């Protein structure tokens, strides 16, 4: 029980970081920029649907994570754990591949760095905590 509640708490905090990251990225026009793909500051809202922003995952991953957290709030659920494990693993790799995230870890910003560190750390914790 304690492990499930910890996973729910960490996943919820990660969702909050996603929301803060999305708002911050849209306001500051921080588009996604990964090794083989780059978004456009002019189309950040549209790009978020499929590729995410510099500080938040795509809409379908956020929806999937929200679904899994809601399922775990109701009780033990192996499928929800499995979803959180893979979403957390994917986000951990995604944060590492994002140019703006690496910049904010090396060169801190008062607003962006806490959002990035919280999101990235919680994504990694989600991947670890969701294992059986």
Instruction: Determine the average pLDDT of the residues in 11-20.
Output: 97
Q: Give the model's pLDDT for residue 21.
A: 95
Instruction: Determine the average pLDDT of the residues in 62-83.
Output: 96
First to last CA, the chain: 13
pLDDT at 45 over 90: no
Please work out, in degrees rounded to the nearest 5, the angle formed at the alpha carbon of residue 126 by the alpha carbons of 122 and 131: 160
pLDDT at 132 over 80: no
Q: Quick one: CA dihedral 41, 26, 28, 50, positive or negative?
A: negative
Spans of all domains in the chain? 2-129
Please state the pTM of the whole predicted model.
Answer: 0.92
Reported as type and span, the H/E element at residue 20 is helix 2-28
Q: Give the model's pLDDT for residue 2.
A: 59
Q: Give the model's pLDDT for residue 116.
A: 96
């Amino acid at each position: 029980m304690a492990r499930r509640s910890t996973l729910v708490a960490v996943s919820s905090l990660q969702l909050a970081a996603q929301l803060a990251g999305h708002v911050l990225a849209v306001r500051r026009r921080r588009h996604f920029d990964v090794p083989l793909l780059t978004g456009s500051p002019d189309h950040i809202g549209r790009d978020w649907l499929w590729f995410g922003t510099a500080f938040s995952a795509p809409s379908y991953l956020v929806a999937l994570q929200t679904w899994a957290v809601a399922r775990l709030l109701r009780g033990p659920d192996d499928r929800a754990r499995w979803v959180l494990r893979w979403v957390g693993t994917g986000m951990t790799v995604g944060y590492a591949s994002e140019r703006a995230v690496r910049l904010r870890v090396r060169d801190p910003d008062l607003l962006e760095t806490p959002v990035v560190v919280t999101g990235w750390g919680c994504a990694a914790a989600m991947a670890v905590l969701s294992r059986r």
